[in-house]
Structure 1
Amino acid sequence: MDVPLDTVSMPAPAPPAVPAALPMEAPLDMPVQNLHAAPDLHGRPGTPVTEARMAGLRRLAVIGSALLLTIYGTWQMHLVLDASGVSLLGGIMLVLFVLLFSWIALAFTSSIAGFCSLVSRGGLGLGIERSGPLPDLISRTALLLPTYNENPHRVMAGLRAIHESLRATGRDACFDIFILSDTTNPDIWVQEEAEWLRARSELQGNTGIFYRRRAKNIERKAGNISEWVRRFGAAYPQMVTLDADSVMDGETLVRITAAMERHPGVGLIQTLPVITGGTTLFARMQQFAGRVYGPVIAFGIAWWHGSESNYWGHNAVIRTKAFAEQAGLPHLPGRKPFGGHILSHDFVEAALMRRGGWAIHMVPGLLGSYEESPPSLTDIAIRDRRWCQGNLQHYKVVPTKGMNPVSRMHLLMGIGSYVTSPLWLIFLMVGILVSLQAHFVRPEYFGDTKTLYPHWPQVDPIRAKYVFIGTMAILLAPKFLAFLALLADRKTLRDCGGAVRVLLSILAETLIGGLIAPIAMLIQTGGVISILSGKDSGWNAQRRDDGGIPFSIVARGYWRFMVIGMLMGAAAWAVSTALFLWMTPVLLGLLLAIPLAWWTASRNAGLTFRRAGLLLVPEETDTPSVLRLTAREIARPETNIPHDAFAALRSHPDLLEAHTAMLPIPRRKGEDVDASLLTGLVRLSEATSVEAAEQTLSRQEKAAVLASAEGVSLILSLPSRM
C-alpha cells in the first residue's frame, strides 16, 4: 500500500551530528504522577465511550455469583467443622477457607462468562475483525523491544520475522522498530550492535530499525520505556511494547493499530499472547494450558472488565500520549523490597491511564500474538520471585486517589496470586492441627455450664467429603469448560490432536500439574517470606534455552521440599490413616520434588509427549507464517564476529565505527564520577596486552571503558600476544 506522505508522521531526517542508529529526537513530556492527588482528565469523560453495554451488570453477575457461591461454601464448611460452635483452630481454618474459596469461586464464575463469550465468537470489540481486508493506517507506530542481557541472535530473529510479516501487509511504511538495550554484559552489548548492523543492511523495506543502549539501567524496564517516550514519543502516536521473546503477526499489528486510530479515547489494547516454542515437558505443559485453558480465562475477564481491563507489559499497542500523560511512575516511599521504583509496572501503568480517563481494552479473540515459556520449574520460580516482589509492592498503590474500582481489583488480585500460596500452606497446617487436637485432646463434654445434655464435638465426614468434591469441581471446572469450547471449534480441536488426545493431554497436564502444585506453593511461600524479611529480588536475565539442568543441581535446590513432605506425612500418619490418605496428593508431589523438577525440565521428556501426540497446540501442527519466519531466522548463522567485545571491535572496522558513533556524551563537569570507568582506564593504561586487560578488568569496568571514547582508544592501542 502506498501511504500518502501528508498523512504519516515521519521523523525528520537526522542531521550529521545525530548518530545514524537513531532518528531525530522528538521529546514528549512525561510527568511523574502524584498518587495522592486527583488525576487531570484533560476534559475526557470518566466513563470511556467504548465501555461495553451493561458493563455494571456483567460485573455484578460475575462477582455477585462468586460471592453467593462463597457464602454457601462457607456455611457448608462451618457445618463440617462444628455446627454447635467452632474452636479457635476451627475458626482460623474457616477464615482461611473463605479467603481461598472466594479466589477459586471468582475464577469459576469468570470462566463461565468466558466460555459463553468464546463459543459465541466474542473477545474482540472496537470494530476489530479476525479476517477480511486490512484497514489503512494514517499514522506512524513504534515497535519497542527492551532487552536485558538476552541472546542477541534470538532477539533479532524475532524482530526480523515481525519485519517480514509487516512488509507482507504492505503497511510496513507505518512502523519503525526500536531495540532498547539495557544490557550490562559488554560482550553481549557488542554482539547486539553487530546483529543490528547486519539486520539494517540486509532487510529491505520502509521500516526503520534503530538501536539504543542505556549505560545506566535506571528503573529497569519501566525506565527503559519511559526514557524512549521522553526522547522520541512525540513522533509516534502509538507504540507497541514487546518482550525479548515476543513475536507478533503483521496483520495483527495492523488491526490493533487501526483500532487505536479509530478510537481516540482508547489508551491501550492488550492482545492475548500464545505461548509457543516449548520443547521441555514443563514448557509444553505451560503452552498447552495457555492455549487450551487460557482463552476461557481471557475471554471471561475481557467480558466483564470491559474498558477497565489490564496490561501484561508486552504484546500490546499503547497510545503514546496517554502513556506519557498518565503513566509516569513515582518511587514508592520506604526501602526495598517494598519501596523504590515499581517493579511490576504494567498493572500500575494501566491503572493510572484508566484513572486519567483512557480506556484499557483486551482483545483475546485476535490471534497472532506469541511469547515463550521458561523451560523449567526452576526458571519460572526465579521469574516469579521478581514478580512476587513487584505485586506485593502494589499494596502501596491500591489507595491511589481517583483509581477505578476495577483497577484496584486488578492490583489486589495480583497481590492475592502470591499471598494465596502461604494461605494454602497455613490452611493445610491448621487442618493437621485440628485433626491432632481431635485425636489427642480429650473433649469437654459438659464444660462449665451445667446442662442436661453433653456438648458432643461434631465433625461430619460425609459433609466434608461433599465439600471437598465440590471445591475440586469448582477448581477444575475451567478445564472442563475449555474442553467443551474446544469441541465446538473443529479446526483447533483437530490441530490439537483430536478429542481423544486432547482429553488425554488434559488428564496428563492436570496430574503432573497437581504434583507440581505443592512444590510451587512452597516456592512462592518462600518468596513471600524472603520479601517480608526485606530481601530484594535483584534483576537477572531470563534463561530461555531448553538445556537440561543437571540432576545434582536439581537435588541441591529441591531436597528441602522432600524433607517438608516427609515431616507433613509423619504428622498426618500420627493422626490417622484417613488423614494421611487425604493428604496423599500433596505429600506425593513433595516427596517426588527432585525427580519431578528434573524430569519436567527434560527436552527428551517433552519430545516424547509430542511424538505421542500429547500436549499438542495448533502452532505446532499448523504453524503460522510469522512463527515459521522466526524459526528460519533462528536457524541462520550468527554474525561471524568474536564473542569477546574487545576482539570484535579490533577485528571489524565497520562495527568499531558504529560503536564509536553511538557512544554516550562524555561526562560534564559537576556530574557524578563513574568509579568503574576510572579504575578501568587505569587498568587499561597499565596493561601490557589486550589479553592482560581482559584478565584484570571486571565486567562493570569493561562495560564502562567500552562506553568511553578514551577507553575504546586505549583498547585499540594495546598490543596482542597472538
Structure 2
Amino acid sequence: MDGLSRSLPGYEMLPQEAPLAMPVQDLSRAPEREVTQRPSAPPLMWLRRLLVIGGALALTGFATAEMSLVLGLSRWSLMGVVLTAFFGMLFIWIALAFTSAVAGVISMAFRGDPLGLRAPAPPPRSRSALLLPVYNESVPHWRATLAAMRASFEASGASAQFDVFVLSDTTNPEIRDLEAHAALELHETAGPSVFYRHRPQNKGRKAGNIEEWVHRFGGRYAQFLILDADSLMEAGTIVALASAMERHADVGLIQTLPLLHGGETLFARLQQFAGQVYGPVIAQGLAWWSGADSNYWGHNAMIRTRAFAEAAGLPTLPGRKPFGGDILSHDFVEAALMRRAGWAIHLAPLLGGSYEQGPPTLPDLAVRDRRWCQGNLQHSAVIGTAGLHPLSRLHMATGIAAYLSAPFWLGFLVMGLAVSLQAYFIRPNYFPDGHALFPNWPVVDPERALWVFSATFLLLLAPKFMALIALILARRGAGAFRILASGVLEILVSSLLSPVTMLTQSQQVVGILLGRDGGWNAQRREGEAITFRAALRFARSHLALGVVLTGLALAINPLLAAWMAPVLLGLLLAPWLIAWTASVAVGAKLRALGLLGVPTEEAPSGVLLLAAQEQREARAIPAVSERELAPAG
C-alpha cells in the first residue's frame, strides 16, 4: 500500500494527488486553437465527404422526386407536401448509411491505418490511467472483467506504465462496501495498481465523475482510457493506443469500436451478431469520411489528458430538465469541444481487442435508450456552439435524427393511412369551385409506389448484405450457409422488432418533450428470462396500436394490410416477441445449431477467455448483486 493516501477507511484508496485545471468552456465564444497543425489527418478529406455526403444527398433528391410523382397532383395538397417532406427527411439517413457502408467495404479492402495502430507498438514511455466509473453496478461482474484485463497486462509485461481507478458514484452503501473490498483485493494482486474513490455526491453524473478525477489526479498521466462497467480490452490494444498518442502529438482522442460479446439471450445474440458483422463495415465507412474529425462514444477510447482538461470542461445548460442541467450524452460534446480547440479526433474500428456487453432484453435496451434519447435531443441546445467544426455538428444532428426518426416514421405511417382513408371514404371533387379548364384528377401511381418503397427497403438492407458478403469473402466461403442463414434470421427478427422499437422511442421522445427527466439508472447485463405477463405489461400500447392499425388497413383494403404486414405483425406480436427474444434457452439452442455465431466465440482472444473464467468463478461465489440491492437515493 506504499504511496497511498487513505481517508474514510475503505472508501478511498488513492495515490498522491496531482491536480490539473479543467475550466468550464464558454459555448457562446470560440477559443483560440491549441493545435493549428494536424499531420495525422488523412489527405483529400473534402473529396471523401463529397462522395459520401454528396452521394447521400443525390440519392435523397432522386427518391424524394419519385415520391412526389407517386402522389401525383395530391402532392400539392397539404397532406401530400407533408408526406413528401417526411419521406425526404427519413430517406436521407438511410442513404447516408448506405453510402457510408459502400465506403466502408471499399476502404476495408485497402485496410488503411493512418495512425499505425496495427503495427507492433513499442512500450509507452508515459503513464496512462484506466478509469472505471461505476454506479450501483454488479460488483462481481466488473471485478471479473477488471481482473481479466489486469492479467492481460501482466502477461504482456506492460503493467508498470498503467494504473486503474475505480471511480464510484454508487448510492447504495452495501454495494459501496463490496466495491471497496473488491478494489482492495485487486490492488494487492499482480498487475497494474488499482485505486478506489467513492463520491458522496454524484454531481455531474458520469461526466462529473471523470472531471473530478482530472482535477485531482490528471497531472500524473499523459493520457487516460475510459471504461464502462461492461468494458473489456486487450492489453495490447491499450498499449497500441497509448503508444500512438506519444507518436502523434496532434491527436486528442482515439475511439475504438467495442464489439459486443457474451450474449446469452436471443435478443443479446442478435445484437451481438449485428454488431460484429455489420458494425465494422459501417464504422469503417464513418472513419473513412470523418478522418481526424470523428466522434466519441463515451468509453473504450484513449484520451490525451491535457487536451481533455483544457478543452472539454462542460457547462451546466440553462433551464429545467430534461433539456437543461447536466449534459447527459457528454461524449459527443466533449469530442466536439476538443475538435474545436484543434485536436484530432480519430476512430479506429479495425484495431480489435475492444469489447463490451449489450442489454439482454428489449425492455433493458429501452431503459438505456431512454437516457440516450434525452441526451441526444439535449444536443439541440449545444449544436449551435460557437466554433464547432461542421462535422461535429453533423455528428450531433445524426444523433438527434436517430431518435426523432421514430416519431417521424410513425407519423409517416399514420398520415399514409389517413390519405388512404380519405381516398376510400371521401368522394373526390373533380371540379372544385371556380373556373377550371380541366378536371382535378387525384393521381396515385401504384407501380411507381411499388418501385420507390421496394428500392427504399433494399437500400435500408444493403449495408447488411454488403457486410455478410464481405465476411464470406474474407473467410473464402467457409461457413457461408451458416453466415447467410444467421443474417436472414437477424433481418427477419429485427424487422419484426423495428416497429416495437419505433413506438417505444416515439413514446420516449414525447415524454422528453413534455418535460419528463429520464433519471440515471444502473444497467442489467446478465441474461434473465422475462415472463409473458411482464412483456405484455411493457407492450400494452404496442399491441393496442397494432390492433387499431390492422383494423383500419383491413377496412380500407386487404392488400394495404398485406403491404403493412411487417409493421402490423411486429406490433401485434410484440409481447410474444419480447418474451421469446429474452429466452436464454432459445439463444443456446441457436448457438448449438451454429446460428448467430460470431468471431469472438469461434476464436476468442486471450482477455475474453480470461474474463469468461473469472465470470465462472464469480458466479460460484455467493455475492450481493445490484438486483438484490435496490439503489438507495
Q: TM-score, normalised by structure 2?
A: 0.96
| Corresponding residue of 1:663 | none
1:386-417, CA deviations, whole angstroms, 9 ceiling, x for partnerless residues? 11001110001011000000000011111111
Give yes or no for the alignment of 1:98 onto 2:88.
yes
Paired residue type of 1:116: I
Distance in 1 (CA, whole Å) between partners of 2:553 and 2:533 is 30
**Partner Cα distance (1:230, 1:118) in 2:** 40
With 633-642 and 406-415 compared, the bigger mean Cα shift is at: 633-642
- Whether 1:550 aligns to 2:537 is no
1:571 deviation in Å?
1.0
- Distance between the aligned counterparts of 1:639 and 1:95, measured in 2? 57
Q: Structure 1 residues 637, 338: CA separation in 2 closer, same or farther (over 3 Å shift)?
A: closer
| 1:485-507 Cα distance to aligned partner (Å, 9 max, x none) | 1122118x75xxx1101101111
Q: Match for 1:606 among 582, 587, 599?
A: 587
User: In structure 1, which of residues 177, 185, 193 is the aligned counterpart of residue 172 of structure 2?
Assistant: 185
Which residue of structure 1 lines up, in the alignment, with residue 114 of structure 2?
125
CA distance in 1, matches of 2:263, 2:328: 27
Match of 2:59 in 1: 69
Equivalent of 2:181 in 194, 197, 200: 194
The worse-fitting range, judged by mean Cα deviation, of 67-76 and 545-554 is 545-554
2:8 & 2:515 partners in 1: Cα distance? 44
Alpha-carbon contact 2:144-2:618 (below 8 Å) kept: no
For residues 343-382 of structure 1, give each alpha carbon's deviation from its aligned partner in whole angstroms, at most 9, with x where no partner exists.
0100000000000110000111111000001000000001
Pick one of 49, 62, 67 that aligns with 1:59.
Answer: 49
Identify the residue that residue 256 of structure 2 maps to in structure 1.
271
Partners of 1:643 and 1:275 lie apart in 2 by 25
User: 2:6·2:14 contact (CA, 8 Å) conserved in 1?
Assistant: no
Aligned to 1:510: 491
Whether the 8 Å CA contact 1:195–1:639 is kept in 2: the answer is no
From the superposition, tell whether residues 264 and 637 of structure 1 become closer, same or farther in structure 2 (CA, over 3 Å). Answer: same
Report how far residue 438 of structure 1 moved: 1.1
Report if aligned partners of 1:276, 1:372 keep a CA contact under 8 Å in 2.
yes
What residue number does 1:247 align with?
Answer: 232
- Corresponding residue for 1:656? none
CA distance in 2 between partners of 1:698 and 1:391 (Å): 26
1:245 and 1:15 map into 2 onto residues whose CA distance is 28
CA distance in 2: counterparts of 1:245 and 1:82, whole angstroms: 52
Give distance in 1, aligned partners of 2:137 and 2:620.
15
Q: Secondary structure at the match of 2:166?
A: strand
| SS of structure 1 residue aligned to 2:345 | strand
Rate the CA distance shift 1:172–1:439 in 2: closer, same or farther, 3 A.
same
Residues 1:162 and 2:143 aligned together: no
Code of the aligned partner of 1:503: L
Equivalent in 267, 272, 281 of residue 296 of structure 1: 281
Equivalent of 2:217 in 219, 232, 252: 232
Q: Quick check: 1:32 aligned with 2:17?
A: no
Residue correspondences, number: 629
Q: Partners in 2 of 1:637 and 1:79 — Cα distance? A: 62
* Matched AA of 2:116: G
Task: Output one character per residue of 1:40-96: Cα deviation in whole Å (capped at 9) or x when no partner.
Answer: 323x21x62211100011111111011111110011001100157522111110010
1:435, 1:575 within 8 Å by CA — same for their partners in 2? yes
Q: Which residue of 2 aligns with 1:149?
A: 136
Matched, 1:307 2:292: yes
2:171 equivalent to 1:171: no
- The Cα of 1:127 is off from its aligned counterpart by 1.7
Q: Secondary structure at the match of 2:76?
A: coil
CA contact (8 A) 2:18 2:218 kept: yes
Matches of 2:249 and 2:539, distance apart in 1: 52
Q: Go from structure 1 to structure 2 and tell me whether the alpha carbon gap of 1:237 and 1:644 turns closer, same or farther (over 3 Å shift).
A: closer
Match of residue 307 from structure 2: 322
CA drift of 1:21 comes to 1.3
Structure 1 residue 455 displacement after superposition: 2.4
Runs of 4+ in 1 over 6 A off after TM superposition: 15-20, 638-642
> 2:70 maps to what in 1?
80
CA distance in 1, matches of 2:631, 2:358: 32
Higher mean alpha-carbon deviation, 307-316 vs 192-201, is at: 192-201
- Tell me which residue corresponds to 1:565: 546
Q: What's 1:390 paired with? A: 375
State how far apart, in whole Å, the 2-side matches of 1:195 and 1:275 are: 25
Give 1:197 deviation, angstroms.
2.0
> Amino acid of the residue matched to residue 614 of structure 1?
L
Extract unaligned runs of 5+ from structure 2: none
User: How many percent identity over aligned positions?
Assistant: 52
Matches within 5 A, 1:369-388: 369-388=354-373
One-letter amino acid of the counterpart of residue 456, structure 2: T
The Cα shift of 1:270 comes to 0.4
Which secondary structure does the structure 2 equivalent of 1:510 belong to?
Answer: helix
Q: Which residue matches 2:244?
A: 259
Cα distance in structure 1, aligned partners of 2:447 and 2:522: 51
The CA deviation string for residues 101-123 of structure 1, in whole angstroms up to 9 with x for no partner, is 1110111111110110112223x
Once the two structures are superposed, the pairs formed by residues 310-709 of structure 1 within 5 Å of their partners are 310-490=295-475, 494=478, 498-637=479-618, 643=624, 699=632
Worse-superposed segment, 636-645 or 21-30 = 636-645
CA 1:23–1:388 in 2, change beyond 3 Å: closer, same or farther?
same
Distance in structure 1 (CA, Å) of the matches to 2:224 and 2:363:
33
**How far is the alpha carbon of 1:18 from its aligned partner?**
10
Matches of 2:277 and 2:624, distance apart in 1: 40
Q: Write the distance in 2 (CA, Å) between the matches of 1:473 and 1:323.
A: 42
Name the amino acid aligned to 1:129: R
- Are the equivalent residues in 2 in contact too, given 1:187–1:644 (CA < 8 A)? no
| 2:135/2:170 contact within 8 Å kept | yes
- Structure 1's 510 and 12: CA in aligned 2 closer, same or farther, altered over 3 A? same
Tell me whether 508-517 or 434-443 shows the greater mean CA deviation: 434-443
Amino acid at match of 2:268: A
Q: Which has the larger radius of gyration?
A: 1
**Match of 1:629, as an amino acid?**
L
Query: Relative to 1, partners in 2 of residues 1:413 and 1:486: Cα closer, same or farther, differing over 3 Å?
Result: same
- Does the C-alpha gap of structure 1 residues 643 and 520 become closer, same or farther in structure 2, counting only changes over 3 Å? closer
- Mapped to 2, the partners of 1:41 and 1:151 lie a distance apart of 42
User: Structure 1 CA distance, aligned partners of 2:607 and 2:331?
Assistant: 26
Note the C-alpha offset of 1:476: 0.6
Distance 1:643 1:303, change over 3 A: closer
1:223 corresponds, among 201, 205, 208, to 208
Q: CA deviation digits over 1:456-485, x for unaligned, max 9?
A: 111010110000111011101101110121
1:238–1:257 CA contact under 8 A, matched in 2: yes
Letter in 1 for 2:459: I
Determine the C-alpha separation between the residues in 1 that align with 2:547 and 2:473: 45
| Counterpart contact for 1:119–1:485, Cα < 8 Å | no
Conservation of the 8 A alpha-carbon contact between 1:443 and 1:457? yes
> Aligned equivalents of 1:128 and 1:194: distance in 2?
36
Structure 1: where are the runs of 5+ without partners?
A: 1-10, 646-693, 701-722
Q: 1:638 to 1:295 in 2, by over 3 A?
A: closer
Q: Distance in 2 between matches of 1:39 and 1:516?
A: 45
Q: Is the 8 A contact 1:18 1:24 kept in 2?
A: no
User: Aligned equivalents of 2:186 and 2:309: distance in 1?
Assistant: 30
Taking the aligned partners of 1:640 and 1:66, their CA distance within structure 2 comes to 53
TM-fit CA distance, 1:616 = 0.3
Q: 1:190 to 1:111 in 2, by over 3 A?
A: same
Cα deviation code 1:269-310 (max 9, x no counterpart): 000000000010000000000000001100000000001100
Q: Deviations over 1:321-346 (max 9, x none)?
A: 01100110001110000000100100
CA RMSD of aligned residues (A): 2.1
CA apart distance, 1:12? 10
Structure 2: how far apart are the matches of 1:456 and 1:35?
Answer: 53
